[in-house]
Structure 1
Amino acid sequence: MEQSGLRVRVEVRPVGVGVVTIGGELDYDGVALLGNAIGSLRDQGVHCLLLDLSGMTFMDSSGVNAFLLAQRASRAQGGWVRLANPQPSVLRVIELVGLGEAIPLYATVGEALAA
């Protein structure tokens, strides 16, 4: 899926974890696309989400809020959200707003899946 400079790819791993790979810029215009992708996983009964940020180059407060909403919804269903592999510009935002304290942050997708 692609829209407004944002690319989102979704896959369900055999362990029941939905991996959402995000590329490009996550801002107000792209939040709906991310929400639809996450919603498609929830429709399949997947509530454990790994957000792979390796291709994401920008995130504003809309993206931060989208991640927090995803976490809240996943926890309500007994699941979780983990963030992995942010680029330096996105990591800076995560650190500035303290998002890594609210949602676990891992250096790699492998580490996040193993946690």
Structure 2
Amino acid sequence: MQQSGMRVHIEVRRPVGVGVVTIGGELDYDGVALLEEAVGSLRDQDVHRLLLDLSDLTFMDSSGVNAFLRAQRGTRSKGGWVRLANPQPSVLRVIELVGLGQAIPLYATVGDALAA
């Protein structure tokens, strides 16, 4: 499944038991609804283990950070988890500044996150 907003695009894949959500472009207030729709569609399919692939994400503001935290709360309430993988340097800087990596596990690659 692929969705595109003005500056963000979302792709969802489902390798065995995990929803991989690839986020590309710029994730800000205007794009968060697309991400939340993708996460919600996975939850509707009883997928509660989410890997957010940030390899194509070039910008993220506090709206994106909050969307990640909401996704984590929703999956944890169902016994699942969220993992972040492969952030670009500009996005990694935001993650480090707000301490998001302490709240949601962060991995260098998608493969590492799936293997954990």
TM-score normalized by structure 1?
0.98
Q: Distance in 1 between matches of 2:74 and 2:67?
A: 11
Amino acid paired to 2:27: L
Give the root-mean-square deviation of aligned CA atoms.
Answer: 0.4
Question: What's the counterpart of residue 101 of structure 2?
Answer: 100
- 1:31-82 CA-to-partner distances (Å, cap 9, x unmatched) read 0000000011001100000000000000000000000000000000000000
The separation in 2 between residues aligned to 1:54 and 1:94, in whole angstroms, is: 14
* Residue aligned with 2:58, SS: strand
Count of aligned positions:
114
Unaligned runs of 5+ in 2: none
**Percent of aligned pairs sharing the same letter:** 76
Amino acid paired to 1:63: G
Structure 1, unpaired ranges of 5+? none
Q: What's the CA shift for 1:4?
A: 1.6
Structure 1 stretches of at least 4 aligned residues deviating more than 2 Å after TM superposition: none
Alignment of 1:9-88 (within 5 A): 9-14=11-16, 16-88=17-89
Q: TM-score, normalised by structure 2?
A: 0.98
